[in-house]
Structure 1
């Protein structure tokens, strides 16, 4: 059996989670004309009062440089702005604008509709069980901090 055929017939966890991720991203992207799926690395984790870019990088699993580029793009779209962090004036917070807050609410609503659709398709109990299991697997698969030498 060819490898591509095997992946199609019996996909591994990476392939399955990627398919799910890309399908969800595509559905979210269809409801947002100006943003791209990659912008979710910032918008999905952004608090109303703002976050430091380093925190967004940690939460999303992206490199700080990637987050910096995404923040630049979102700033150009008028969805976020950079402000001094009141706790440390040398640091900057990424803060959503009013337009950004509206976009975030719209994304949350779209994600709720996607989750509701999936829950209805397989049943609420199975969907909740799936989410718990996926959450557990993600925690188990996450890289652990290496001990100091």
Structure 2
């Protein structure tokens, strides 16, 4: 067995955090967006989750969506444009600051948000049942801590 083959075998047996989190994310997105498509939202793509996962029902500023998602403002702006063209969001004046705009879900966006919440709850319930509710709660708590630590500024 070559050095490269040994490394590949080790990666398969003991994948690192990035590989595991990536596999989880892609499998989660595949299920979520396939189910949304079957429920009447066929035009949404996983990239739209950058906006939809953080969007408040009352509306959110694009700068806040960028901060929460960790994406550049330009990426967020492009995705908002796409979602606006698809009819999921609209831009409206922020009542607390007339210079600012809120990105607010339309009726279609609110429907998607409700369906996504139900789909995610079902996915999480399935995992909790598979590993046990307490183990799943502990997993999410540790994953949250690791994520926050990874996103923290480095000295």
For residue 104 of structure 2, give the secondary structure of its aligned residue in structure 1. Answer: strand
- Tell me the number of residue pairs that the alignment of Structure 1 and Structure 2 aligns: 146
Matches of 1:66 and 1:125, distance apart in 2: 37
1:77-130 Cα offsets, whole Å, 9 max, x none, are 101000111111111110000110010000010000000111111111110110
Runs of 5+ in structure 2 lacking a partner? 37-41
Q: What TM-score do you get using the length of structure 1 for normalisation?
A: 0.93
Matched, 1:61 2:65: no
User: In the alignment, which residue of structure 2 is the partner of 1:5?
Assistant: 9
2:111 to 77, 80, 102: 102
1:19 to 15, 20, 23: 23
1:143 shift after superposition: 2.8
2:127 to 118, 125, 148: 118
Matches of 1:76 and 1:129, distance apart in 2: 40
Matches of 1:25 and 1:36, distance apart in 2: 9
Matches of 1:8 and 1:38, distance apart in 2: 27
User: In the alignment, which residue of structure 2 is the partner of 1:134?
Assistant: 143
1:55-92 Cα offsets, whole Å, 9 max, x none, are 00001111111111110111011010001111111111
Q: How does 1:77-96 map to 2 (within 5 A)?
A: 77-96=86-105
Q: What TM-score do you get using the length of structure 2 for normalisation?
A: 0.90
After alignment, is 56-65 or 3-12 more displaced?
Answer: 3-12
Matches of 2:125 and 2:66, distance apart in 1: 29
1:5 shift after superposition: 2.4
